[in-house]
Structure 1
Amino acid sequence: MRSLAAADAARSALVVRALGDGRGGEDTAGPLRVVRVDGRHRRAVEVPGITAWAARARNLHILVTLLEEAGIDYFCVRGTASPNPCVAVPERLRAEVEDVLRTGCGHYAGYVGGVAPGPVRQGASTASWRALRTQRVLRIAWNVCDPTGKLVFGRESGCDIEFWAEQEGRLLAPRPNRVTTEVPVDAGRCRAEQKRFSEVPFMYTTGQARTLPEFVAALPDDHLFPIDVVYTWVDDSDPVWRARKEATRRVLERSTDDGTLHEQAANDSRYASRDELRYSLRSIHQYAPWVRTIYLVTAGQVPSWLDTAFPGIRVVDHTEIFSEPDALPTFNSHAIESQLHHIPELSEHFLYLNDDVFLGRPVQPGTFFHPNGLSKSFRSKALIPSGRADFTDLPVNAAGKNSRGLIAQQFGTVISQKMKHTPHALRRSVLTEIEQVYAHAHRVTQHSRFRSPHDVPVVSSLYHYYAYHSARATAGDIRYQYIDLADDLAQRRLNTLLARRNYDTFCMNDTVAAADPEAQDRMVADFLNAYFPVPSPYERAATGIPAPRTAPAAELDGARA
């Protein structure tokens, strides 16, 4: 076996967020630290910019590198029920594997255990491997943490090792998968990118690994289509934007019958920004590496910290998407949302998020879309009030009533539920169809400069029920939390959310002005910095991100791995 120093050099060539600043270059892994993992003190390597997906990719890369350096036969497996990467080894080689990994765990502070929840053991200990010898599937992890120590990735981000038994010239899997559970002992190996087995964003390159042709082929339940993300954003502190907003409001109030707008149609809290977008983008980078392109829809504004040159992000101005330019300027989210499907080069399937919506843990494309392309909607327990919309309704309720009227007219059913404040899974073609089917209501919404009793909530309600009734969407399920920042229990709920990190997505909303804005701002800032301490690559170096580093293309492909 070549030295561990050589294996370490190969590992350093893995260009993913786990081993650098996310933009390519040298390994910037730091020293070993003692952290809390599953209630116990464990050793972890400090890695700037670590993410959940990068921790998984790192574990797979270390394991593959060690096996290849030792000349041990293996092949990567996909299709198991576990989201963790998986490597299969013939059971007759188990003693050699244990020996190699025991040494590797001593060098890299690795831990090993079963795949079922339970304690993990020090991988450098012979006794640990002896105690696990009856288990044919193990999970190995080299713990990592970010420099703040707030993010720690252990066994939940580990890599599985399956020991395949040999019987009558065939290797038999120890557990089911969706591809094949037995192969000839001498089955030919091929090579594929490691990112095939451990989700890594398209802009990053990993090394290759051995596998079987069966595990490279596309499966019917693979999500083979691209999925984009769309945000709408406004900088309410921009004096030019504020002056335009006030001027537009004065003109509108003079032109309305009673001279007033509903107090929540244009109140400042609706536009307030606490840099939530920065942290929502961090949540996408941390927990949804499968996203292709992020589009930020704005009114000629760009966050000062946003690196628009980084691959995978694009700023779109309202003037690029409004089908009728005379509807601008607008300060109505319903109007802006009605035009999102006009974004140039937007994928057919995309997620729409407000900047106060965040992913709270790793999610998969299947959370939002079926593999056959059907979208999923997430209905709330909150109900749309009865009756027809009028000027006394909260804008959100008036819009829901209008959506109900259109669906009842078209399909003969009466909708009652609002949708949760989650990412909205949408299809561009369905939104285009809605614009044609409900042309009048759609145009009225586009031309409402502030929220109006005549608005239709195209992406947050109408789409979901229209797609459902036309067999292009299903009711989905998502673990979600809504936090009203004005609520007396908001701080307690944020603390619980931070401690448990057990929701797929959450929303922090404030529709009314805070009694103490400064205290609320501090509460939100402290929470977001603690939950999302790792900057995304979409942030400029001036905001604290290390300057971009590049490496020769040959290095980016990894060494032997």
Structure 2
Amino acid sequence: MSSPTSMNSAVHVYKRFVPQPVRSAAASTLPAGVRRKVKGGLARTLNRREARLHRRALRRVRRAGLGHSERRTQAPDGRVGHVHTGLTVDLARRLDHDLVTHALDAAEVPWFAVPALDDRRLCLAVEQRYKGTIRRVLRALLEEHTGYVVSVFPAASDTRETPGSHIKAWKHYGKAKVIRLTWLRTDPTEHLWVGEDQGVEIEFWTANTDLPHERLIGPRPNRVQRAVPAEASGIEIGLDRLSGYCDIDGDLEPTITLEDFDVVRLEEISFPVDAVLLWQHPGRWGEELLRAALRSLHQYAPWVDVVHVVAQAEPPAWLNADERLSVVRAQPGAEWQLDQLPDVADHFLLLRPGALIGRPVRPFDYFTPSGGTRPRRGPWNASESFAEWARAAYSVTGRVTGHGYAAGPQPYRAETLTRLGEAGAQPLPLTDDQTLPAVPGTHPMDGVVHHFGYVAGLADPSGEASVALHAALPGLGTHLERLLVRRDVQQLQLVGLGAKEAGARGGTEAIVRFLHQYFPVPSVFEHVRPQTPTEPDIHS
């Protein structure tokens, strides 16, 4: 029996090839049963032809060796996921890109990358005339490596949970001008899931011959232009030039775009950005905070150039010092002199103990293209207005502060620290946030440095705020569970792991378990993957 999709196709073909007068005459002279038999026979013919073409496309995909993972598993929502050891968000993005582009190459369909408006997803453009071939090869690809397809423009997400190998998953394809392919991927622990907010979008561009030179017209706006010459030359371009979330590494395989799209994005950051991590808490929970900070950079900020660990205590033996990770011994209070750190870039992220990146970030989330920093604004109350850092910031700038600064990873410039020292600012005494009984307000160093940078034109306070949690917070488990399920917080700041109340209430142990689940994938900054104990000794 013919499927509804086949019947719809048969009706479309019937209307296309049989003129309206003939259809009208047939409707008035031929019995309804005869007309149904004709359309049914046409539907069966189309079904057989489509099945033959699908098998041919599937053989082509299999010969190309596309779609490999260690095993398949079931995602929390019931869909099919793929397991990859060492999975990162950036790796998943490149796997998706390579899958689609190699499938298009196998089908001999020309394509080029487009700098889409949405940085989270890579976008490819193909000509409208290849739409039939593309559906067959992509359906075969999604059968070999299970994934999902939805129509983006016009929007239709009711096929989101239907595997792309099924005919009904493509029911909106005929009218779609942009589609999105997604694959759900996870690490062996199945705590980290990637893919729902990513995927590869395919735009169908149409040829316009109204002008002397043929042009290709895009179905929606992008960062550069919607019309390009049909004979434009293709060039290689790094994925980081198309998405700010990608790793900035010239050794990685580039993609292909048209020379007309090789234009600097408005938010593109061209200068190197380092990361500076402070290490000062030897012991189990202190090492877990450091490990989680390194994993958060590896997972969600792959564009960081060099990581500098400023150790105020004996560095852990598992640190893998190489060209991307340096370890520098320092005395307490050395964070006021980070501009003197050997070989540190002028722009860097400062991560104090407990500061973590919770989801993918771009350099633009912390810095402006002109080089300014973008610190997060924080709460402002009477305690903040009378804080010692507010008085110090006023004395060195002559400008009154009007807001605090949120905790979490901090964007810094070595130039700001140097100019602050030249202005005669004196370092303020710093407290250990991990031993305080409550979540502190603005960090004194952040308040002074960011306010000075703002007055000097080196900082532009903006961006999303951080979520700060104290290890002794009542109901901490609920907050941590929410973070694990949603993973929607860009910055995290965990404090109070060394407080007595946290140890008594089990908060420190809960946070250590949370860190293992939130950041299960080892980073390149670790010698070996540590064994996660069932009952971590948080007091050692």
Same fold? TM cut 0.5:
yes
User: Does 2:201 align with 1:214?
Assistant: no
Structure having the higher Rg: 2
- TM-score (normalizing by structure 1): 0.75
Residue in 2 that maps onto 1:523? 510
Q: Which of 353, 356, 373 is matched with 2:354 structurally? A: 356
Residue in 1 that maps onto 2:123? 86
Could you report, residue by residue, the CA deviation over 1:196-238 in whole angstroms, capped at 9, with x for unpaired residues? 4455434584434321112233334311111111111024349
Residue in 2 that maps onto 1:473? 459
Q: Which of 325, 331, 353 is matched with 1:313 structurally? A: 325
Residue in 2 that maps onto 1:543? 530
Gaps of 5+ in 1: 13-28, 239-271, 319-328, 389-399, 546-561
Asked if the contact 1:379/1:420 (under 8 Å) is kept, the reply is yes
Task: Quickly say closer, same or farther: Cα 1:459–1:57, change in 2 above 3 A.
Answer: farther
Task: Quickly say closer, same or farther: Cα 1:70–1:124, change in 2 above 3 A.
Answer: same
Task: Quickly say closer, same or farther: Cα 1:459–1:5, change in 2 above 3 A.
Answer: farther
Task: Quickly say closer, same or farther: Cα 1:3–1:132, change in 2 above 3 A.
Answer: closer
1:162 CA displacement: 0.7
AA partner of residue 221 (structure 2): P
Residue in 2 that maps onto 1:394? none
Residue in 1 that maps onto 2:227? 182
1:186 CA displacement: 2.1
Task: Quickly say closer, same or farther: Cα 1:135–1:373, change in 2 above 3 A.
Answer: same
Q: Which of 89, 94, 107 is matched with 2:144 structurally? A: 107
Q: How does 1:349-498 map to 2 (within 5 A)?
A: 349-383=347-381, 385=383, 400-401=387-388, 403-415=389-401, 417-439=403-425, 441-442=426-427, 459-498=445-484
Distance across 2 between alignment mates of 1:496 and 1:217: 40
Residue in 1 that maps onto 2:535? none
Asked if the contact 2:319/2:527 (under 8 Å) is kept, the reply is yes
Asked if the contact 1:404/1:416 (under 8 Å) is kept, the reply is no
Task: Quickly say closer, same or farther: Cα 1:76–1:122, change in 2 above 3 A.
Answer: same
Distance across 1 between alignment mates of 2:194 and 2:429: 46
The secondary structure found in structure 2 opposite 1:201 is coil
Q: How does 1:41-440 map to 2 (within 5 A)?
A: 41-115=78-152, 118-119=157-158, 120=160, 121-168=162-209, 169-194=214-239, 196-197=241-242, 199-202=245-248, 205-237=251-283, 273=286, 275-299=288-312, 301-309=314-322, 311-318=323-330, 329-330=331-332, 335-383=333-381, 385=383, 400-401=387-388, 403-415=389-401, 417-439=403-425
Asked if the contact 1:195/1:206 (under 8 Å) is kept, the reply is no
Q: Is 229-238 or 128-137 further displaced after alignment?
A: 229-238
Task: Quickly say closer, same or farther: Cα 1:412–1:45, change in 2 above 3 A.
Answer: same
User: Does 2:502 align with 1:504?
Assistant: no
Task: Quickly say closer, same or farther: Cα 1:92–1:117, change in 2 above 3 A.
Answer: closer
Task: Quickly say closer, same or farther: Cα 1:207–1:5, change in 2 above 3 A.
Answer: farther
Distance across 2 between alignment mates of 1:53 and 1:286: 8
The RMSD of aligned alpha carbons is: 2.8
Asked if the contact 1:53/1:286 (under 8 Å) is kept, the reply is yes
Asked if the contact 2:83/2:187 (under 8 Å) is kept, the reply is yes
1:512 CA displacement: 3.3
AA partner of residue 317 (structure 2): S
The secondary structure found in structure 1 opposite 2:189 is coil
The secondary structure found in structure 2 opposite 1:3 is helix
AA partner of residue 314 (structure 1): S
Asked if the contact 2:307/2:325 (under 8 Å) is kept, the reply is yes
- TM-score (normalizing by structure 2): 0.78
The secondary structure found in structure 2 opposite 1:276 is helix
User: Does 2:501 align with 1:534?
Assistant: no
Q: Which of 50, 61, 70 is matched with 1:4 structurally? A: 61
What count of residue pairs does the alignment treat as equivalent?
A: 456
The secondary structure found in structure 1 opposite 2:74 is strand
Q: Is 215-224 or 137-146 further displaced after alignment?
A: 215-224
Could you report, residue by residue, the CA deviation over 1:425-479 in whole angstroms, capped at 9, with x for unpaired residues? 111111100011025x24x769x9xx9xxxx966411111011112221121214
1:538 CA displacement: 1.2
Distance across 2 between alignment mates of 1:218 and 1:409: 40
Gaps of 5+ in 2: 1-56, 436-441, 533-540
The secondary structure found in structure 1 opposite 2:180 is strand
Q: What is the identity percentage for the equivalent residue pairs of Structure 1 and Structure 2?
A: 26
Asked if the contact 1:110/1:123 (under 8 Å) is kept, the reply is yes
Q: Name the structure, 1 or 2, with higher relative contact order (CA <8 Å, separation 6+).
A: 1
Asked if the contact 2:281/2:287 (under 8 Å) is kept, the reply is no
1:137 CA displacement: 1.1
Residue in 2 that maps onto 1:254? none
AA partner of residue 216 (structure 1): D
Distance across 2 between alignment mates of 1:52 and 1:516: 34
1:194 CA displacement: 4.5
Asked if the contact 1:75/1:210 (under 8 Å) is kept, the reply is yes
Could you report, residue by residue, the CA deviation over 1:113-158 in whole angstroms, capped at 9, with x for unpaired residues? 1346844132212332232321211110222111111222233120
1:50 CA displacement: 1.1
Task: Quickly say closer, same or farther: Cα 1:476–1:434, change in 2 above 3 A.
Answer: same
Distance across 2 between alignment mates of 1:54 and 1:387: 45
Asked if the contact 2:384/2:404 (under 8 Å) is kept, the reply is no
Q: Is 183-192 or 102-111 further displaced after alignment?
A: 183-192
Asked if the contact 1:139/1:158 (under 8 Å) is kept, the reply is yes
Asked if the contact 1:143/1:154 (under 8 Å) is kept, the reply is yes
AA partner of residue 73 (structure 2): R
Asked if the contact 2:237/2:254 (under 8 Å) is kept, the reply is yes
Asked if the contact 1:221/1:371 (under 8 Å) is kept, the reply is yes
1:411 CA displacement: 3.8
The secondary structure found in structure 2 opposite 1:375 is coil
AA partner of residue 529 (structure 1): H
The secondary structure found in structure 1 opposite 2:469 is strand
